[in-house]
Amino acid sequence: MRIGHGYDVHRFGDGDFITLGGVHIPHNRGLVAHSDGDVILHAVCDALLGASACADIGTLFPDTDPRWKDVESSRILAEVLTTVAERGWKPKNVDVVVHLERPRLTEYRDQIRHQLGELLGISIDSVGLKAKTGEGVGPVGESLVIDSMAVVQL
Ligand code: MG
């Protein structure tokens, strides 16, 4: 058994939706990123890579590489799962914290859990997800960024 821990953050910018856990969520801002800025999937990718002692997502998928420009992060996750599988590992469960002031994710929570389970090949019962606000202070509280932390077991 292995355990891995991942973290990611992206800044808000112009746009009318965000993508979290592979789910398209309408919003009055977007996220600034080389890919789609999906902080949940990026944190999960780094947790998977960390658990299998691989290089991190920034090293494997650099933002200077045009192949990963505007790509859906589910494609990056698929590549990561292949890398992890080549080392003989597969996900057992994942637990995620997403840290944002707006939008509220209550109505999207189960959809994101379902999507994460589909992408990782595990049951929704093995996907934890908590959304936390920044209590109005700091970069999260002032809606400058969204960040996310993930723990996975392989
Ligand atoms: Mg990222």
CA of 90 to the centre of ligand 1 (A): 22
- Give per-residue pLDDT as tens, 71-114: 899 999 999 999 999 999 999 999 999 999 999 999 999 999 99
Residue 37 CA to ligand 1 centre (angstroms): 5
Residue 57 Cα to ligand 1 middle (Å): 8
pLDDT value of residue 31: 95
- Size of the chain in residues: 154
| pLDDT for residue 63 | 83
- Give the ranges where 1-146 is alpha helix by DSSP (H): 39-51, 57-60, 73-86, 109-120, 138-141
Angstrom distance (rounded) from CA 119 to CA 41: 10
Mean pLDDT for all residues in the chain = 96
Mean pLDDT confidence for 118-124? 98
The model carries a pTM of: 0.96
Task: Output 78 or 60, whichever has higher pLDDT.
Answer: 78
How many whole angstroms from 19 Cα to the centroid of ligand 1? Answer: 12
147 touches 8 (CB < 8 A): yes
Task: Return the pLDDT at 68.
Answer: 83
37: left (phi over 0), alpha (psi -120 to 50) or beta: left
- Write b or e for each residue in 28-62: b if 16 or more Cβ atoms lie within 10 A of its Cβ, otherwise e: ebbbebbbbbbbbbbbbbbbbbbbbebeebeebbe
Nearby residues for ligand 1 (ion, Cβ within 5 Å)? 8, 42
Instruction: With residue 96 as reference, give the H or E element that holds it.
Output: strand 93-99
Evaluate if residue 128 carries a pLDDT over 90.
Answer: yes
